[in-house]
């Protein structure tokens, strides 16, 4: 659909670039349409049939909160804690609610844990995608994100998330501090 829409407006897009766009903006059709319109306007000075590049997508398109948190978690799991904390501060500066960020972090760790557990059980990629109800691009991203993590480490991180959430709900800690601790530790 998106490729056809771009063609009707005198643009082309490579399949990989289109996948990157969809991953970045999410699968909400209204959001995707908005980003396509931005890309068409951004490339208006190019001749008809010109290709939209990955650089165009990176330059002009807005990332979803889920995508930003996923990238932050990737940095954290790769040992780049300082970069992850910098990204968290950007999320706070954009006025994203700390509890929403915490929810997405918990979901990310949950998906990562499930992936590792299913891999340990000997399932292949097709079985994992079916069981987790995810697409192939997300599976690739999760596998890359968790390459250096153990099942035990992910379980400990999920337990820490549960503890932080409980402390926030009991009023023992601010939601922002809880998220900062999760990323810093």
The answer to whether 65 and 26 are in contact (CB under 8 A) is no
> What is the mean predicted confidence (pLDDT) over 91-117?
91
Provide, rounded to the nearest whole percent, the portion of the chain with pLDDT above 90.
44
pTM score, whole prediction: 0.72
Mean predicted lDDT score pLDDT of the chain: 88
């Amino acid at each position: 659909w998106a490729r056809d829409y771009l063609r009707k407006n005198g643009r082309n897009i490579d399949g990989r670039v289109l996948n990157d766009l969809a991953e970045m903006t999410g699968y909400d059709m209204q959001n995707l349409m908005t980003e396509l319109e931005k890309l068409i306007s951004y490339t208006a000075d190019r001749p008809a049939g010109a290709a939209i590049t990955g650089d165009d997508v990176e330059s002009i398109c807005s990332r979803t909160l889920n995508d930003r948190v996923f990238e932050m978690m990737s940095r954290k799991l790769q040992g780049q804690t300082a970069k992850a904390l910098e990204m968290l501060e950007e999320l706070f500066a954009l006025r994203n609610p700390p509890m929403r960020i915490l929810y997405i972090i918990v979901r990310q760790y949950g998906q990562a844990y499930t992936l590792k557990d299913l891999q340990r059980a000997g399932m292949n990629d097709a079985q994992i995608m079916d069981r987790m109800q995810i697409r192939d691009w997300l599976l690739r991203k999760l596998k890359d994100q968790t390459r250096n993590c153990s099942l035990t480490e992910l379980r400990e991180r999920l337990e820490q998330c549960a503890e932080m959430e409980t402390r926030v709900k009991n009023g023992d800690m601010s939601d922002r501090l809880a998220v900062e601790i999760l990323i810093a530790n």
